[in-house]
Chain A
Amino acid sequence: MRERLSTAWLVADFFTYQHRLSGRMNVRYNKLAGQLNNTTTSFLQLEDAYISNVERPAEIIASYTSTVLYKQNITAVVVANQEDGLMREQTYGSYLGTYLRSVFITVPSFEIKGYLRLSGKLDLRTVLTTGTDTFVPILDGQMVSSLRQDVVFSGGAILVNKNHIGVFCVEEKEE
Chain B
Amino acid sequence: MAKILVIDDEADLLEMMRLVLERRGEHETVLSAEGRDGLAKALADPPDLAIIDVMMPGITGYEICRQLRDNPATASLPIIILTARAQPVDRDAALSAGADAYMTKPVMMAELLEQVDALLAKRRAGEPSALAGMFTLLSLRGGVGVTTLAVNLAVTLRQANGGAACLIDLCPSSGHVALQLGLRPQPNWSDLHDSGARALDADTITAHLLQHSSGLRVLASPFFPVVGQGIPQEMIQTTLRILQQQFPIIVVDMPSVLNEAAIAAVKAASAIGLVVAAEPPSIQTTIGTLRVLRQWSDKLHIILNQITPGPQPPAEAIERALKHPLTGNIPFDSSQARALAQRSPLALNNPDSPLAQATQRLAQTLSR
Contact = CB atoms under 8 A, between A and B. Distances in A.
A167 interface: no
Instruction: Classify the interface of chain A: helix, strand, loop or mixed.
Output: strand
Contacts of B88: 152, 154
A167 to B, nearest CB: 23
Contact of B55 (A5, A63, A152): A63
B228 interface: no
Contact of B89 (A4, A9, A63, A151): A151
Contacts of B92: 58
A22 B84 contact: yes
B104 interface: yes
Contacts of B62: 60
Given A4-B109, A5-B107, A22-B55, A13 B87 contact: yes
A153 B87 contact: yes
A9 B16 CA distance: 14
A7 B60 contact: no
A52 to B, nearest CB: 9
Interface in A1-54: 1-7, 9, 11, 13, 22, 24, 48, 50
Interface string B59-77: 0101000000000000000
A65 interface: yes
Interface in A41-93: 48, 50, 57-60, 63, 65, 78, 80
Nearest to A153: B87
A11 B105 contact: yes
A133 B9 CA distance: 34
- Chain B interface residue number, banded: 20 to 34
B16 A57 contact: no
Given A24-B84, A58-B93, A9 B10 contact: yes
B34 to A, nearest CB: 13
B17 interface: yes
Interface string B92-106: 110000000000111
Interface in A67-121: 78, 80
A20 B301 CA distance: 31
Contacts of B10: 7, 9
A114 B105 CA distance: 23
Given A22-B55, A22-B85, A5 B106 contact: yes
7 contacts: A1-B110, A7-B10, A22-B84, A48-B55, A58-B89, A60-B62, A80-B104
Interface of B: 9-10, 12-13, 16-17, 20, 24, 54-55, 57, 60, 62, 84-90, 92-93, 104-110, 112
